[in-house]
A and B are shown apart, each in its own frame.
Chain A
Amino acid sequence: MKIIVTDQAGDVHELEGLEGWRVMEVIRDWGLNIKAECGGALSCATCHCYVDSEWLDAVGAPSDEEEDMLDSVGDVKTNSRLSCQILCSDALDGLKLTLAPSAAKD
């Protein structure tokens, strides 16, 4: 499966995703500008992304705990998600998302 990620500079990257991996892990492994400080423990919100509107239903709604973590960034939109909470699967083949400014490395 593939995921299509627009980074903070507006560059578009087509990344190979692996079934069962977290989307954050794929983005990080490809060296894109994502801090992912806590490594996927749902404890930091530094893998914040905006999911394209056409993919929102397939990705599903964030959990209460994820919403709590999203409180810790200042650039939340209605399509905000933490990429560590989205698992790669065939159902998400072609998933499009954009990295939030708050996910950038220092």
Chain B
Amino acid sequence: MSTEITTDVVVIGAGPCGLFAAFELGLLDLKCHFIDILDRPGGQCAELYPEKPIYDIPGFPVVTGQQLTDNLMAQIAPFSPEFHFSRMVNSIEKLEDGSFKLQTDADETFFTKVVVIAAGGGSFQPKRPPVPEIEQYENKSVFYAVRKMEDFRGQDVVIVGGGDSALDWTLNLQPIVRTLTLVHRRDAFKAAPASVNKMKELVAEGKVNFQLGQIAKLDGDDGQINHVHLATEAGDLSIPATRLLPFFGLTMKLGPVADWGLELNDNTIVVDTEKFETSVPGIFAIGDINYYPGKLKLILSGFHEAALMAQAAKAIISPGERVVFQYTTSSTKLQKKLGVA
């Protein structure tokens, strides 16, 4: 069912810079909706290195990606931003009155006066294995996720990978497929030990075929694979297959942002350094995804950019209104907004 949402600001990307933008916008009474392709906040920080220490956030001698995310979520809670996870913005259209209409792949339409792109290195998408012509089979017989298990019933399935996704789907799909081959480059797995043990039992019972190797080539017609060729130590091995599931984790790609008509510079969005506005008035870009002379890809740069962006966003949303700059330490007005006065 399609949904329509009207708001002041849509922030694309719920990484640290996007989250902090909600704070700066909130101080100026602007309401935010977040759209993120991941299923939780934190962006790259939470997805790539949740447990890794970060040493260059002011005031935190050391903080992990997850701790920073949790703290930012607590900091912006007074402004009650709304989150729309596991979806991607497909298109942005500028309306006659200067506002924007955004469409997501979850059939939602957002009407907003300001758009803030805080998408870091782009949107997270499944890593495509370097196999020639794999694109022609994607979403027909090669899938990077299982949406409907029924699509795999009675199929000859090849799963590639050694992590939790590969092992979980080996165990889940095995009872309903015709044959299942798990392919991994080595006999060691990063997945939960219980899953690995269960998989090994299925291999011992002859229900799962485990093969050491890497995918080298696909055979098929009209998007339908019929054989997966593996490079193994013993040489080329061809396995009959009607479905292939490569699980190599996620990588970041600019994605649909590239088609929004914004001025780009090598996969980043060109902005000015006064407002961090893109070449389209009303669309801002902050954090790792933007470009300007001297840009440093640091979280703290994104925080600074968020503060200046928010002032410019306020001027667009409330034209003519005089904004008096205030400090949270001394302004009772701001402290009331934060729920501390």
B170: chain A residues within 8 A (beta carbon): none
Report the Cα distance A75→B130, complex, angstroms.
Answer: 7
In the assembled complex, B254 has its CB within 8 A of some CB on chain A: yes
How many residues of chain B are within 8 Å of chain A by beta carbon? 29
Q: A101-B130, A105-B267 are in contact. Are A72 and B52 (CB under 8 A)?
A: no
Tell me how many residue pairs across A and B have CB atoms closer than 8 Å: 59
A residues within 8 A CB of B184?
A: 71
Contact digits for A84-106, partner B, Cβ 8 Å, 1 yes 0 no = 00000000000000000110011
A43 pairs with B52, CB closer than 8 A: yes
Determine if A71 and B185 form an interchain contact, defined as CB atoms under 8 angstroms apart: yes
Q: Which residues of A contact B188 (CB under 8 A)?
A: 67
Number of interface residues of A (CB under 8 A): 21
Contact A41 B48, beta carbon cutoff 8 Å: yes
Majority SS of interface residues in chain B? loop
Which residues of B are found within 8 Å of A41, using beta-carbon distances? 48-49, 52
Closest to A68 in B: B190
Within 199-231 of B, Cβ neighbours of A (below 8 Å) are at 214-215
5 A-B pairs in the complex with CB atoms less than 8 angstroms apart: A37-B48, A73-B129, A73-B130, A74-B160, A76-B214
B residues engaging A (CB < 8 A)? 44, 48-49, 52, 121, 127, 129-131, 160-163, 184-186, 188, 190, 214-215, 246, 248-249, 251-254, 267, 297
Q: Which 3 interchain pairs have the tightest Cβ spacing?
A: A74-B129, A43-B48, A72-B249
